[in-house]
């Protein structure tokens, strides 16, 4: 039992005085059973409970009837359930739910594209009285709700405050109960048990923030006067909490970045002519954007603190070339570079390019992947340690312990987002503070660049090599597929090559794989004279390599593939791509995929096919790609539509979990928090000021002692 509680005569626990770190089960009315339930959802202490923020607010003064609903309104009204229907979405296992509700004035549809929790819809039996809270949106000329709150009518409802916080239900534990526990918390924390502000007073003042305590109170015990601001997450309470969430992340990144500038690395000397030799040998001139990016890289390399830079550029913008130029500079300084790619195919392609472009300069490259044979590998590792390899290219096999360099001065990671953010440091540790470069083709929206990559400098290659015409894109439904195939065949008859891509979605990997394989067999039957190849992730590396080589050489005219070709494959003669089940991809992913075409002199096409029964909404979303080839615009739109987790790929998003902050909605607060965090370290680069001690503690608490390693 906690020191702060005692047992009453009837054996119940009574709160004496709570602290923020008091275990939740000691709150009046909670107890061990509910305590365990909260714990399962990550809510252990009073503090966790107070950080269980309302997901929305219900403005009861906005209550009205269905007939009076207008587009864009955030409303609350009583209604009666008419029906609940589960509708299958396409061929996938997923379902959407349609809950229809009515009142005397009319009826309206509430759509759910996911199930809030198990059993959620089972409560909605016909005729049941419910309260619906949500935002009115329009779809195909009709108004409806997407994911509104539908909840049971509370008995004492009519007497409630005009503005009610709504909490996400926890395993059936309703919002009213949760609110009651939170109120109990507030009532039992005495003033002296509120911890001091962690944010420095100067920042609180400069950014006009309310105190944390005040913010928490305002969020959970809202003031109806400001209802409109609550409904859009724009009260000063929201701003304070969001600011703080961003601030901790930005402070961590700022500390890392400040630490980098203090690291001692190797300053490379200006080159002695090999770079010019490389450029003279190229069949093309560098674009202005490539020159600019390289100039920035070169300036970094010539400093004795290591570079930490990200090169962002759309697929085909020529990032690899820029990386090679940096490797040449390192080579001229008698040191080594490493280039890590996310797939074997891509590593091999880089290696082939290096052999072609760099070996004439005397630069020796090596290739190390998971499939490199033991004898070959041993030889390679020995040469590497002896300094007889100047550029080692490979997959994450490069990270392994046995891989030792003589003098590693540059680490390049291609397509960073496929490696977890944590892996960034692993390769780096193989050298003595080597320079570090990330190349990414995912145009990362500004907000994400400021968070996940906030410790890196950025170079943007925003210009394509000349002579590339934009890819013409069409989104069609499955029924039009024969026409698409006919069009593809026309292109093939003109000597071009084609990709047909199938998505590989982890949850249904087997089915998708079967799709690709059976499509391949169908096509072979349908077009016996056309040379068709199949490429998928389950094939042996050697087989994959053979197929890729055949396609590259033009021996294959059509390549049917799962998304293994997503990154980096370069076959300029391929000018048409058909993407099946485009609805399953994110827009940025689709954009990256289609970047495989449009790499040569021929006009290029991308046809995106939507599966059966795909919603109009998915179609509209995908059609954004018909309108633009600008990766940044697409990324911003994609982020807005799908949210950051999905955007980055749910698996390893590398994104910090925010409880309230939203990267799309709260951009301006993010900018302020970033500015504030960097300002702190500019003034006090070791966080030694008395006013900054709590910052130190918080950084160590959240990110471990390593967070301070760079600046201590
Ligand atoms: P990215 O890695 O940015 O997707 P790559 O570096 O693979 O792009 O370049 C794509 C293709 O364009 C390669 O075949 C490369 O040789 C070629 N390329 C690179 N820079 C130029 C340039 N300045 N002019 C013409 N072609 C270029
Ligand atoms: Mg590339």
pLDDT digits over 666-680, tens only?
A: 888 999 999 999 999
pLDDT of residue 513: 63
pLDDT of residue 208: 96
Nearest CA to ligand 1 atom 6: 318
Q: What is the pTM of this model?
A: 0.68
pLDDT of residue 246: 92
CA dihedral (238, 244, 249, 251) positive or negative:
positive
Nearest CA to ligand 1 atom 23: 286
Overall average pLDDT of the 234-255 stretch: 93
- Name the nearest CA neighbour of 497 among 601, 576, 565: 576
- Output the CA 417–ligand 2 centroid distance in Å: 13
Nearest CA to ligand 1 atom 26: 465
- Name the nearest CA neighbour of 309 among 296, 322, 320: 296
- Output the CA 541–ligand 2 centroid distance in Å: 20
> Structural domains in the chain?
4-50 (no CATH), 56-166 (2.40.50.140), 196-262+666-712 (no CATH), 281-461 (3.40.50.300), 472-628 (3.40.50.300)
Q: State whether the beta carbon of 570 lies less than 6 angstroms from ligand 1.
A: yes
Helices (H), 503-586: 509-526, 541-553
pLDDT of residue 340: 92
The pLDDT tens digits for 508-523 are 555 666 677 888 899 9
Overall average pLDDT of the 689-696 stretch: 92
pLDDT of residue 244: 95
The pLDDT tens digits for 537-578 are 788 878 888 888 899 899 999 999 886 554 456 788 999 999
State both tokens at 199: 């944010």
- Output the CA 556–ligand 1 centroid distance in Å: 23
State both tokens at 582: 């485009």
| Contact by Cβ (8 Å): 557, 618 | no
On average, the pLDDT of the chain sits at 85
* CA 301 to the chain's CA centroid: 29
Rounded Cα distance, 134 and 137, in Å: 9
- Ligand 1 pocket test, pick from 290, 316, 346, 442 with the greatest ligand atom count within 8 Å of Cβ, gives 316
Nearest CA to ligand 1 atom 18: 318
State both tokens at 223: 């003031």
Rounded Cα distance, 707 and 183, in Å: 36
The pLDDT tens digits for 263-313 are 787 888 877 799 999 999 998 999 999 999 999 999 999 998 899 999 988
* Position in ligand 1 atom list of the atom nearest CA 322: 6
Say if residue 648's pLDDT is above 60: no
Say if residue 650's pLDDT is above 50: no
- Output the CA 315–ligand 2 centroid distance in Å: 6
* Position in ligand 1 atom list of the atom nearest CA 313: 3
Overall average pLDDT of the 224-232 stretch: 86
Say if residue 619's pLDDT is above 50: yes
Contacts by 403-407, CB closer than 8 A, 24 or more apart: 403/368, 403/430, 404/430, 405/336, 405/338, 405/430, 405/431, 406/336, 407/334, 407/335, 407/336, 407/431
Q: State whether the beta carbon of 47 lies less than 6 angstroms from ligand 1.
A: no
The pLDDT tens digits for 305-360 are 899 999 988 877 899 999 999 999 999 999 999 999 887 878 888 999 999 999 99
Lowest-pLDDT range of 43-52, 202-211, 421-430, 662-671: 421-430
pLDDT of residue 486: 96
pLDDT of residue 3: 46
Say if residue 652's pLDDT is above 80: no
The pLDDT tens digits for 480-506 are 999 999 999 999 999 999 999 987 654
pLDDT of residue 213: 96
For residue 83, CA distances in Å to 116, 125, 138, 595, 691 come to: 18, 7, 21, 45, 59
The pLDDT tens digits for 13-68 are 555 688 999 998 888 888 888 999 999 988 999 999 999 999 888 877 766 788 88
* Position in ligand 1 atom list of the atom nearest CA 414: 2
Rounded Cα distance, 453 and 165, in Å: 34
pLDDT of residue 507: 45
Say if residue 80's pLDDT is above 70: yes
**pLDDT more than 90, % of the chain:** 44
Nearest CA to ligand 1 atom 10: 316
Overall average pLDDT of the 622-640 stretch: 85
Q: State whether the beta carbon of 631 lies less than 6 angstroms from ligand 1.
A: no
pLDDT of residue 11: 55
Say if residue 641's pLDDT is above 80: no
Non-local (6+) Cβ contacts of 376 within 8 A are none
Rounded Cα distance, 161 and 221, in Å: 10
């Amino acid at each position: 039992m906690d020191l702060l509680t005692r047992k009453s005569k009837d054996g119940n626990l009574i709160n004496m005085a709570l602290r923020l770190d008091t275990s939740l089960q000691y709150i009046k009315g909670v107890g061990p059973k509910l305590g365990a339930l909260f714990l399962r959802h990550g809510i252990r202490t009073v503090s966790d409970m107070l950080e269980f923020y309302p997901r929305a607010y219900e403005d009861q003064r906005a209550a009205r009837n269905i007939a009076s609903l207008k587009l864009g309104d955030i409303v609350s009204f009583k209604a009666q359930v008419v029906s609940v229907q589960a509708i299958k979405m396409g061929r996938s296992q997923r379902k959407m739910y349609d809950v229809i509700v009515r009142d005397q004035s009319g009826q309206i549809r509430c759509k759910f594209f996911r199930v809030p929790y198990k059993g959620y819809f089972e409560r909605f039996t016909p005729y049941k009285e419910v309260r619906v809270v949500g935002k009115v949106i329009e779809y195909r000329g009709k108004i409806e709700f997407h994911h509104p709150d539908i909840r049971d009518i509370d008995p004492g409802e009519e007497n409630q405050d005009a503005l009610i916080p709504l909490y996400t239900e926890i395993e059936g534990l309703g919002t009213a109960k949760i609110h009651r526990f939170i109120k109990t918390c507030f009532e039992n924390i005495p003033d002296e048990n509120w911890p001091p502000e962690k944010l420095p007073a100067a920042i609180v003042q400069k950014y006009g923030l309310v105190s944390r305590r005040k913010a928490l109170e305002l969020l959970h015990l809202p003031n109806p006067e400001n209802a409109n601001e609550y409904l859009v997450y724009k009260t000063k309470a929201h701003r304070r909490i969001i600011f703080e969430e961003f601030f901790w992340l930005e402070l961590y990144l700022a500390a890392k970045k400040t630490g980098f500038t203090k690291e001692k690395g190797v300053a490379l000397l200006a080159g002695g002519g090999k770079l010019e030799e490389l450029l003279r040998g190229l069949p093309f001139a560098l674009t202005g954007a490539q020159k600019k990016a390289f100039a920035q890289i070169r300036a970094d390399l010539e400093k004795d603190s290591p570079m930490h830079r990200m090169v962002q550029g759309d697929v085909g913008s020529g990032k690899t070339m820029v990386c090679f130029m940096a490797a040449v500079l390192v080579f001229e300084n008698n040191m080594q570079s490493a280039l890590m790619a996310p797939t074997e195919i891509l590593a091999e392609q880089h290696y082939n390019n290096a052999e072609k472009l760099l070996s004439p300069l005397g630069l020796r490259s090596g290739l190390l992947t998971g499939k490199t044979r033991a004898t070959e590998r041993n030889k390679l590792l020995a040469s590497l340690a002896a300094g007889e390899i100047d550029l080692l290219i490979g997959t994450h096999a490069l990270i392994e312990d046995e891989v030792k360099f003589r003098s590693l001065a540059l680490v390049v990671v291609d397509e960073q987002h496929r490696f977890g953010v944590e892996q960034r440091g692993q390769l780096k540790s193989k050298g003595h503070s080597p320079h570090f470069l990330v190349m990414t083709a995912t145009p990362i929206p500004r907000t994400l660049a400021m968070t996940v990559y906030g410790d890196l400098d950025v170079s943007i290659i925003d210009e394509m090599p000349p002579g590339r015409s934009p890819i013409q894109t069409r989104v069609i439904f499955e029924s039009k597929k024969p026409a698409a195939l006919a069009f593809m065949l026309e292109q093939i008859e003109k000597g071009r090559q084609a990709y047909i891509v199938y998505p590989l979605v982890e949850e249904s990997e087997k089915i998708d794989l079967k799709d690709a394989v059976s499509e391949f067999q169908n096509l072979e039957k349908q077009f016996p004279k056309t040379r068709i190849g199949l490429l998928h992730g389950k094939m042996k590396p050697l087989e994959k390599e053979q197929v890729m080589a055949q396609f590259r050489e033009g021996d294959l005219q059509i390549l049917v593939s799962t998304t293994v070709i997503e990154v980096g494959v370069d076959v300029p003669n391929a000018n048409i791509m058909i993407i099946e089940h485009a609805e399953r991809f994110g827009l940025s992913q689709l954009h990256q995929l289609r970047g495989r075409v449009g790499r040569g002199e021929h006009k290029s096409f991308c046809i995106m096919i939507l599966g059966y029964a795909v919603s109009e909404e998915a179609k509209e979303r995908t059609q954004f790609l018909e309108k633009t080839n600008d990766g940044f615009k697409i990324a911003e739109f994609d982020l807005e539509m799908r949210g950051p987790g999905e955007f980055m790929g749910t698996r390893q998003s590398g994104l910090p979990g925010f409880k309230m902050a939203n990267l799309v909605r709260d951009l301006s607060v993010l900018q302020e928090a970033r500015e504030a965090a960097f300002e702190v370290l500019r003034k006090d680069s070791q966080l030694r000021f008395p006013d900054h001690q709590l910052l130190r503690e918080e950084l160590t608490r959240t990110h471990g002692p390593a967070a301070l390693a760079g600046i201590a």
